[in-house]
Amino acid sequence: MDIIPQDAPVAAAPGRTAHGLTVRIRTLPRPDKALLNLLFGAALLALVLGLAGGLLTALARAGALRFYSDDAYRLLTLHGVSVFFYWLYLIQAALLLALAAAENGRGLALRPAAWAGAALMLTGFAVSEWISATGTPLLYDGSPELAVDDPRSVGVFALGYLLLAAGLAASAASGIATLLQPRRRGETEEFGAVGFALFAWAGFLIVSAIAATNAFLPGLLWALGAGPFPADHGTEWHILFHNLHYLPLMATVLVWYVLTEHLTGVTSIHGARLSKIVFAAYLVFVPPTSLYHMFLEPTLSDGVRVVGSLLSLFVSVPTLAAFAIIVSSLEASARAHGATGFLGWMRGLPWSNPAMANMGWAVVNMMAGLTFAFVLIQGDLAPMLSDTFFVPGYFHLFAVGVLTQTFLAALMVMLPALNGGPLWRPALLARMPALVTAGLFLFAAAGIAAGTMGVPRRVFDIGYGGLAPAAWPVLMALVGIGASLFAAALSVSVYGVVRTLLSGRKAPATDLTAVAWRVEPSRIGTAPAWTGPVSIAALVAAMYVFTIAAFQLIQSLPIAAIGGGHGH
């Protein structure tokens, strides 16, 4: 089987080298580098806190640790707040600013807004962590119904997220201004695919800030005695939560675009315009697909439920389209270089580079996660599964396997360029994503099976006085083993990134393995590139199989579901 040498020199495209990203980051102004280091460091701190809380929570769910009820919910709150909000949104703000500054080539515009945004987000981080550690545990959605007699906890918790939202909006404003600078200087009249995606993503960040304000301002006003009790918090949370599904996925696909070019020299063979349409499609599909979050409302009419089910089928269209563009571009370029074999062409990718390894395994996790996401969002299954361990079982494939590994991949490329030091032990880091994925698959398989058999979500004592099915503790023990494995491997990756962040200039940075697959357009299409379409077909087939399996298993159980309020 022919493959492409991994040590081939990296191609230099006209006006832009394959290492252009790192060159541009390396030459950013000093204040921008300081801001990015601050945001990357804070994001990693949030990840470490969330990882620790998550591991303890998983061990408690597995029965290996015992906590008093309040302590268990406090851990769960700290885990969710740290990872789902502060890791994912601090890193997105930092990546937006870094990539926008790199696109601009001259650093950040509206720098005071960017710094103000960072100050607001970090203040929100401190406020949220403090109230989560000391107040009534509200879980990550901050439901006021859990603290009707403790308005202080509700108000301070809401304040933390409102500060985060304000900071995101300020950071996005700086990102937008930065992206527009080349136009204002007369250097270009349109964005490239990445520039347009960054522009749209920045707008989406601001919309998410609006959604967060819509969800949490009433809680703060109630706590201050300036408004009624936020009885509609669940509905307002659904809107924010829906945005928060798409936002990091859009960021992930954008990072894949950037890293694919950086690691292989390949840009879309379908042209920048199609890529822009796909990125715009993320935003086009956001509002119409939001209805499925309401499937848990028992009062939802059948008509709305049917429409929501149909629209939910569009939920992953942009992500799959972007995946197909990237994979077909890579495969067509590899085959133009002479690579053969149905999947053999992939062996030529620079897998010894930990950024490539993280990105590649993130794609594997995405395919598995999407399969079960489609199972969950179907109208007849959602009420039965959404309050079970099925939900954490599948969404960790996304949160850890896809999002976190992708953002760590970006940091593994950017931090050495930002600070001038080498990436810590790249050979070791390149092995971690496979271990993370192995742990995640065990966690997900056991968790999804447990959820399908009725193990509840967010309940720490599931013994039910000895009446629980015998399979439950076995499956939850496997959940704990899987969580321990992926947490340990992910900790190594995080440690390596933190060491790289703190390394300064103790040793010269070296560019890691990359390949040069970029070819002239006339050489594209000489051999068919089927991997992308076949992968999507396999995903659809798997979705059908697991949906049928879930229906049959649930119908064999002596249960009935009528909807349970708020699931996520």
For another protein, the binding residues (CB under 8 A) are 15, 176, 180, 183-184, 186-191, 196, 199-200, 203, 206-207, 210-211, 214-215, 232, 235-236, 239-240, 243, 273, 276-277, 280, 283-284, 286-288, 290, 304
Residues 84, 91: Cα–Cα separation, whole Å? 11
Name which of 286 and 334 has its Cβ closer to another protein: 286
Name which of 136 and 275 has its Cβ closer to another protein: 275
**Least CB distance to another protein at residue 528 (A):** 29
Residue labelled with tokens 């063979």: 269
**Least CB distance to another protein at residue 178 (A):** 12
Name which of 179 and 409 has its Cβ closer to another protein: 179
**Least CB distance to another protein at residue 21 (A):** 18
* Radius of gyration of the CA atoms of the chain, in A: 23
Name which of 63 and 288 has its Cβ closer to another protein: 288
Residues 462, 210: Cα–Cα separation, whole Å? 38
Name which of 277 and 492 has its Cβ closer to another protein: 277
Name which of 221 and 462 has its Cβ closer to another protein: 221
Residues 396, 391: Cα–Cα separation, whole Å? 9
Name which of 139 and 180 has its Cβ closer to another protein: 180
Name which of 354 and 567 has its Cβ closer to another protein: 567
In sequence order, the 6+-apart residues with CB closer than 8 A to the CB of 165 are 124, 208, 209, 210, 212, 213, 216
Region of 458 (left: φ > 0; alpha: ψ -120 to 50; beta: rest) is: left
- What helix, strand, coil percent values describe the chain, rounded to 5? 70, 0, 30
Type and span of the H or E element at 17: strand 16-17
Whether the Cβ atoms of residue 194 and residue 200 lie closer than 8 Å to each other: no
Report the sign of the C-alpha dihedral through residues 243, 247, 248, 250, in that order. Answer: positive
Type and span of the H or E element at 16: strand 16-17
| 456 three-class SS | strand
**Least CB distance to another protein at residue 206 (A):** 6
Residues 215, 222: Cα–Cα separation, whole Å? 12
Residue labelled with tokens 């971690």: 432
Instruction: Give the Å distances, CA to CA, from 123 to 126, 130, 260, 532.
Output: 5, 11, 35, 43
Name which of 37 and 214 has its Cβ closer to another protein: 214
**Least CB distance to another protein at residue 339 (A):** 32
**Least CB distance to another protein at residue 198 (A):** 12
Whether the Cβ atoms of residue 549 and residue 453 lie closer than 8 Å to each other: no
Largest CA distance in the chain: 73
HSE, side-chain direction, 13 A CA sphere, residue 272: 10
Residue labelled with tokens 């087939």: 541
**Least CB distance to another protein at residue 197 (A):** 11
Whether the Cβ atoms of residue 562 and residue 299 lie closer than 8 Å to each other: no
Name which of 89 and 486 has its Cβ closer to another protein: 89
Name which of 151 and 192 has its Cβ closer to another protein: 192
* Cβ density class 509-535: b for 16+ within 10 Å, e for less: bebbbbbbbbbeeeebeeeebebbeee
E strand intervals along 144-268: none
User: Which one, of 110, 107, 90, lies nearest residue 99 by Cα?
Assistant: 107
Name which of 10 and 176 has its Cβ closer to another protein: 176
Residue labelled with tokens 């980051």: 25
**Least CB distance to another protein at residue 293 (A):** 11
Residues 405, 429: Cα–Cα separation, whole Å? 11
User: Which one, of 155, 269, 170, lies nearest residue 217 by Cα?
Assistant: 155
**Least CB distance to another protein at residue 291 (A):** 10
Instruction: Give the Å distances, CA to CA, from 173 to 193, 201, 263.
Output: 19, 11, 29
Name which of 199 and 460 has its Cβ closer to another protein: 199
